[in-house]
Amino acid sequence: MRVLGIDPGLTRCGVGVVEGSVGRPLTMIDVGVIRTSAHLPIAERLVTIERGIDAWLDEHQPEAVAVERVFARSDSSTIMGTAQASGIALVAAARRGLPIAMHTPSEVKAAVTGSGRADKAQVGAMVTRILRLDAPPKPADAADALALAITHVWRGGAAARIEAARADAAVRSAGQRKVVRTR
């Protein structure tokens, strides 16, 4: 499974592509940051983010997109821009019909480090280890995007297998009912 992780932000929007499956080593395909200038009007900044995400989607052809769920922090001045960038990411993925998952920061930290209270350095260190990189991706927004993609591969893959097993069980159960009825 190839997943594009997006850590939304108005100034720095982290993007990272990871490929792999549950129980197998994951591979980083690409990582980066879409940057916008604080001196530009918000609408122009959002267009820049949209074009950047579209370019990543076109280039890497992910099977799913994982976006960090926006939550209210103590610094309310960044919430609106983060939410706007998140909306752009959701629209770009939805336009292509891609499955979208939203993961909370604590969910991502717990999946990658084992603790929902891990700091940025711990997340970066574990992303480096999980993906067998030489150094943590910089800035932290890039590492966070990879962590989102990793979380989705691990959790999304497991959820997909559970759903497939349920569907298979339902088909078998329906087949058994037909057999019972024909006797």
- CA dist 2 → 21, 72, 113, 141, 169 (Å): 9, 30, 21, 19, 27
Residues carrying an active site annotation: 7, 68, 141
Cite the annotated binding site for Mg(2+) by residue number.
7, 68, 141
**What's the one-letter identity of residue 160?**
A
Structure tokens at 10: 């108005």
Residue whose pair of structure tokens reads 């197998």 in the numeric block: 24
Annotated binding site: 7, 68, 141
Q: Exposed (0-12), middle (13-18) or buried (19+): which is 110, by Cβ within 10 Å? A: middle
Neighbours of 51 (CB within 10 A): 13
Residue type, 151: T
49/8 Cα distance (integer angstroms): 9
